[in-house]
Chains A and B, each alone.
Chain A
Amino acid sequence: MINTIKNFIEDAGWPRILIALFLVFLFVAAPFVDVRLDASVSDTLIRFGMNGVMVLAMVPMIQSGCGLNFGLPLGIIAGLLGAVTSVQLEMHGLFGVFGAMAMATPLAIIFGWGYGLLLNRVKGDEMMIATYVGFSSVAIMCVMWLILPYDSPKMVWGYAGEGLRTTISVEEFWQNAIGDIASFRFGEFFYFPTGVFVFFFLCCGAIALFMRTKTGTAMATVGSNPEFAKANGVNINRMRTLSVIISTVLGAYGIIIYQQSFGFIQLYMGPFYMAFPAVAAVLIGGASVKKASIMNVIVGTILFQGILTMTPSVINSIIQTDMSEVIRIIVSNGMILYALTRVVRGRE
């Protein structure tokens, strides 16, 4: 019995166990400070569904040894372009969401290809370069959102008649178009977006399957031991580029799923910090800079989003003042800090 517990702790790792215990504590404490448990669980699940695909986008690049995808905003931009285009074309419902994804895909492939070529030139420093790829692409797009020829009255600035607004509502187009498929409610507060979960797990399944193909096996080997891969006839650069493209495409899908749950498209600085929660989540899930599995994604997203959802509401109620934004920032950045210390350990 003691051995089983020991093994479990060793497998899961102390950080994950502590975070899980803290999350359990928050759920237990919630009813005592008048935070509704059913609403909390529902919120956590919704946020899990919203963010899951973007966390999944970390996996291919980690597998191929490109490190954590700090350049996720690049994929997000492809997704945003797909989303605003679908709104421009007045596409509604499932047709709108999948239309947005379909239009984002070729863009994400092109962006990812260029991004991949760049990362192949900076082997060893991928993560720092990736961070700046993300930041600078967001900056370029700040200009582009203003000058791209979108003119739907739902999206442009009212007084000027041109240039996209910072926040665009998709409520009348495709909010919850996927989420509402077979969704259900318990009482007033509990809502379960079945469709989003189905979509997330389909993505996971696709990646898991891909990792078992010849190409997927080669990709994992490139990350694990590039010299070995090369000696066995694997084209390292091609595998790395492919992994970056897949990550970027997943990032584009991820943001579209996020928007259909959230109800808004956030442009301009919106994607700026989007990579960090995803990076933090996959690391908390137990991934290292060199190895990540689908399980890491699922566990990490639940833990990270759970804490992020629960901390502000529960702690706010405990200390009786509105600190939610401050606490959210502290928790979120604290986790990234923790995650980055894990990065260093992973390198040793």
Chain B
Amino acid sequence: MENQPILRVEHVGKTYYKNRVLKDVSFTLNKGSILGLVGENGAGKSTLMNILFGMSVIAETGGYEGKIFVDGAEVLFLRPKDALSAGIGMVHQEFSLIPGFTVTENILLNRESLHHNITEEVFGERLATLDREDMKKRASLAIQKLNVDLDGETLISELPVGYKQFTEIAREISSSRTRILVLDEPTAVLTESEAEILLKSMRNLADAGIAIIFISHRLDEVLSICDKIVVLRDGEVVLDTKVGETSVRGMANAMVGRQTKRIEQTKAVKDENAKVLLEVNNLWVDMPGETVRDVSLRVMQGEIYGISGLAGQGKLGIANGIMGLMLAGGSVIFDGKPLQLNAPSESLAAGITAVSEDRRGVGLLLEESIEWNIIFSALQNQSGFLKPILGGLLHIRDEKRIEACAKQYVKDLEIRCTSEKQKVQELSGGNQQKVCLAKAFETNPKLLFVAEPTRGIDVGAKALVLDALRKYNRENGMTIIMISSELEELRSICDRIAITDRGSIAGVLPASAPSEDFGLLMMGKVDQVEVSA
């Protein structure tokens, strides 16, 4: 039985609304070993873990393909409770702890030791009282297994982030059944020393016989602790190897490199001696979850400039900061003139427009018509689409011109709708994105920010959106800064691509640079890449 794997995943696949996110994923996990699961954002890691943990979203969207075996027996988890009783524990990225309870109470939540009493006989187990002494013992046992210094009586709200993480893990291992532990980016919120402690205690747990799936973006950690590494890319296993047989570079290459042929490069019109259109120096932006710490970049006139990087590394903050939507500081020089920050109308007046990554929240007026959405920015900032009435005393909206303009965009961008009067919330994601683009194009900007333009839209719309951007760049000389997590997409359209890491630019590479270099930059391995600015 020694070589019998505790977890075996065979040919697992999953589609969400005809959109394939996992394909033929197979791997095994042995007792007492640590498996590193690595992949870009959107590679399918979360979906895989959702399947493994029986999250209801999987069953609700039509289940999954393939089979999962625990201890050689096939299992089918329909709800997380099933997975828990089969011995799978999971620690999520977001903490699920009760701040006002102590560490002990959190560790043993819903599994408390109980005293029996009369009311319990009458009203059932819910009225049993807690056996605090025993709870303390059980909790400290779990904490000991982790080998960390954590007081069971402390309130969660008073703990530093790292120790909250330990509490979560202790909760999972305190259940005597737990044999497989899934840690979803546990070190992301930890300081280096805390991370070290965590890695050590993971090793301890593994030696005690618990199998661990460790999801991380920090490739060094994965290499140092795991026995086995699985790399996912676009929902497929692209690398399944023992730890000694690969390197950071190898993993990075596997993560981002596509075997598929590159889309034919249609380069932007770029003058060799073009002037600098946008110069950003030491920009910081206080955007929750996408903090920009110190970004400096130079964008040339007529260029398509890409910005990529992992989620949370600040790529989205750059656009929001320059557009004045989030509190920002530093110096931005646009078209030779310093740009006032924190004033959206200043950026717009200077000729900068942005297509927001938050399409439904910031990008659109969902309850209004397509035409109103398209012309709004031009109306407000350039006083377009107005006609005088009462002898020029008052200017009101010129509905005829608005309609004509909207009709033109509906035709040009192939926006699928019943008419330009249709409410935007009734459109599909791709068509909503086209409306956002139309709104930006109508202001005729010198510089256009496009953030995550293809997120959540289908393939056809994707191609159309990219074509439209390319066309406006070529024919109107519009400089475009495109921010996307899809590196391959950026490489198909951009001239140069900057990669953000921890709030600053890790490096700028020409789009033709090898994909593993981009991967290394994303992982913060700047020293291993020759950066050409």
State the A residues within 8 Å of B (CB).
209, 212-214, 217-218, 221, 224-225, 227-228, 230-235, 291
Known A-B contacts: A225-B362, A228-B362. Give 19 more (CB < 8 A): A209-B389, A213-B397, A214-B379, A214-B397, A224-B365, A224-B367, A225-B361, A225-B366, A228-B365, A228-B376, A230-B344, A231-B344, A231-B362, A231-B363, A232-B344, A232-B381, A233-B349, A233-B381, A234-B345
- Give complex CA distance A322, B438 in Å: 65
Q: A217-B380, A228-B363 are in contact. Are A209 and B323 (CB under 8 A)?
A: no
Residue of B nearest to A206 (CB): B394
With an 8 A cutoff between CB atoms, is B73 at the interface?
no
Indicate if the CB atoms of B377 and A227 lie closer than 8 Å. no
* Among B347, B380, B389, residue most surrounded by chain A Cβ atoms (within 10 Å): B380
Indicate if the CB atoms of B362 and A227 lie closer than 8 Å. yes
A-B contact pairs, 15 of them (CB 8 A): A213-B386, A213-B395, A214-B379, A221-B376, A225-B366, A227-B358, A230-B325, A231-B323, A231-B356, A232-B348, A232-B376, A232-B380, A233-B345, A233-B380, A233-B381
Indicate if the CB atoms of A217 and B367 lie closer than 8 Å. no
* Among B325, B347, B395, B396, residue most surrounded by chain A Cβ atoms (within 10 Å): B396
- Give complex CA distance A215, B8 in Å: 63
- Give complex CA distance A55, B380 in Å: 29
Residue of B nearest to A220 (CB): B368
The smallest beta-carbon distance between B327 and chain A, in angstroms, is: 13
Contacts of A217 in B (CB 8 A): 372, 376, 379-380, 397
Contacts of A233 in B (CB 8 A): 344-345, 347-349, 377, 380-381
Residue of A nearest to B385 (CB): A214
Indicate if the CB atoms of A234 and B380 lie closer than 8 Å. yes
The residue from A214, A221, A230 contacting B395, defined by CB atoms under 8 A apart: A214
The smallest beta-carbon distance between A198 and chain B, in angstroms, is: 18
Contacts of B386 in A (CB 8 A): 213-214
- Give complex CA distance A209, B395 in Å: 9
Indicate if the CB atoms of B325 and A212 lie closer than 8 Å. no
A-contacting residues, B206-252, CB 8 Å: none
Contacts of A225 in B (CB 8 A): 361-362, 364-366
The smallest beta-carbon distance between B485 and chain A, in angstroms, is: 21
The smallest beta-carbon distance between A249 and chain B, in angstroms, is: 17
Q: A230-B344, A232-B377, A233-B380 are in contact. Are A212 and B396 (CB under 8 A)?
A: yes
With an 8 A cutoff between CB atoms, is B511 at the interface?
no
With an 8 A cutoff between CB atoms, is B494 at the interface?
no
Indicate if the CB atoms of A218 and B380 lie closer than 8 Å. yes
Contacts of A212 in B (CB 8 A): 396-397
Q: A213-B394, A214-B395 are in contact. Are A235 and B345 (CB under 8 A)?
A: yes
With an 8 A cutoff between CB atoms, is B296 at the interface?
no
Contacts of A231 in B (CB 8 A): 323, 325, 344, 354, 356, 362-363
Indicate if the CB atoms of A214 and B356 lie closer than 8 Å. no
A-B contact count (CB 8 A): 68
With an 8 A cutoff between CB atoms, is B383 at the interface?
yes
Contacts of B349 in A (CB 8 A): 233
Q: Lowest 8 A-B CB distances belong to which pairs? A: A233-B345, A212-B396, A233-B348, A227-B362, A232-B377, A212-B397, A233-B344, A233-B381
- Give complex CA distance A232, B386 in Å: 17
- Give complex CA distance A231, B321 in Å: 11
Indicate if the CB atoms of B377 and A213 lie closer than 8 Å. no
The smallest beta-carbon distance between A20 and chain B, in angstroms, is: 26
Question: Size class of B's contact patch?
Answer: 20 to 34
Indicate if the CB atoms of B345 and A227 lie closer than 8 Å. no
- Give complex CA distance A273, B341 in Å: 46
Residue of B nearest to A235 (CB): B345
The smallest beta-carbon distance between B226 and chain A, in angstroms, is: 42
- Give complex CA distance A213, B394 in Å: 8
- Give complex CA distance A233, B380 in Å: 7
B35-52 interface bits toward A, Cβ cutoff 8 Å, 1 = contact, 0 = none:
000000000000000000
The smallest beta-carbon distance between B467 and chain A, in angstroms, is: 25
Indicate if the CB atoms of A224 and B368 lie closer than 8 Å. yes
- Give complex CA distance A170, B46 in Å: 75
- Give complex CA distance A224, B367 in Å: 8
The residue from B325, B365, B397 contacting A221, defined by CB atoms under 8 A apart: B365
- Give complex CA distance A304, B383 in Å: 40
A-contacting residues, B68-117, CB 8 Å: none
Indicate if the CB atoms of B380 and A214 lie closer than 8 Å. yes
The residue from A214, A232, A291 contacting B383, defined by CB atoms under 8 A apart: A214
The smallest beta-carbon distance between B81 and chain A, in angstroms, is: 31
Contacts of A218 in B (CB 8 A): 380
A-contacting residues, B312-335, CB 8 Å: 323, 325
- Give complex CA distance A213, B362 in Å: 22
Contacts of A214 in B (CB 8 A): 379-380, 383, 386, 395, 397
The smallest beta-carbon distance between A26 and chain B, in angstroms, is: 36
Residue of A nearest to B362 (CB): A227
- Give complex CA distance A217, B380 in Å: 8
Contacts of A232 in B (CB 8 A): 344, 348, 376-377, 380-381
- Give complex CA distance A214, B358 in Å: 25
The smallest beta-carbon distance between B366 and chain A, in angstroms, is: 7
The smallest beta-carbon distance between B523 and chain A, in angstroms, is: 32
Residue of B nearest to A227 (CB): B362
- Give complex CA distance A212, B366 in Å: 19
- Give complex CA distance A227, B354 in Å: 13
Contacts of B347 in A (CB 8 A): 233
The residue from B325, B379, B396 contacting A209, defined by CB atoms under 8 A apart: B396
Residue of A nearest to B356 (CB): A231
- Give complex CA distance A224, B379 in Å: 17
Contacts of B348 in A (CB 8 A): 232-233
Contacts of A230 in B (CB 8 A): 325, 344
Contacts of A235 in B (CB 8 A): 345
Contacts of B397 in A (CB 8 A): 212-214, 217
Contacts of B344 in A (CB 8 A): 230-233
The smallest beta-carbon distance between A240 and chain B, in angstroms, is: 16
Residue of A nearest to B386 (CB): A214
The smallest beta-carbon distance between A212 and chain B, in angstroms, is: 4
A-contacting residues, B384-429, CB 8 Å: 386, 389, 394-397
Contacts of B376 in A (CB 8 A): 217, 221, 228, 232
The smallest beta-carbon distance between A233 and chain B, in angstroms, is: 4
The smallest beta-carbon distance between B317 and chain A, in angstroms, is: 15
The smallest beta-carbon distance between B443 and chain A, in angstroms, is: 9
- Give complex CA distance A243, B97 in Å: 44
- Give complex CA distance A315, B382 in Å: 59
Contacts of A213 in B (CB 8 A): 386, 394-397
- Give complex CA distance A109, B396 in Å: 23
The smallest beta-carbon distance between A23 and chain B, in angstroms, is: 30
The smallest beta-carbon distance between B477 and chain A, in angstroms, is: 23
The smallest beta-carbon distance between A89 and chain B, in angstroms, is: 31
Contacts of A224 in B (CB 8 A): 365, 367-368
Residue of A nearest to B383 (CB): A214
Q: A225-B366, A231-B323 are in contact. Are A209 and B394 (CB under 8 A)?
A: yes
- Give complex CA distance A234, B377 in Å: 9
* Among B347, B376, B389, residue most surrounded by chain A Cβ atoms (within 10 Å): B376
- Give complex CA distance A217, B365 in Å: 12
Residue of A nearest to B320 (CB): A231
- Give complex CA distance A212, B344 in Å: 23
Contacts of B361 in A (CB 8 A): 225, 227
- Give complex CA distance A291, B356 in Å: 25
B472-507 interface bits toward A, Cβ cutoff 8 Å, 1 = contact, 0 = none:
000000000000000000000000000000000000
- Give complex CA distance A221, B377 in Å: 11
Contacts of B356 in A (CB 8 A): 231
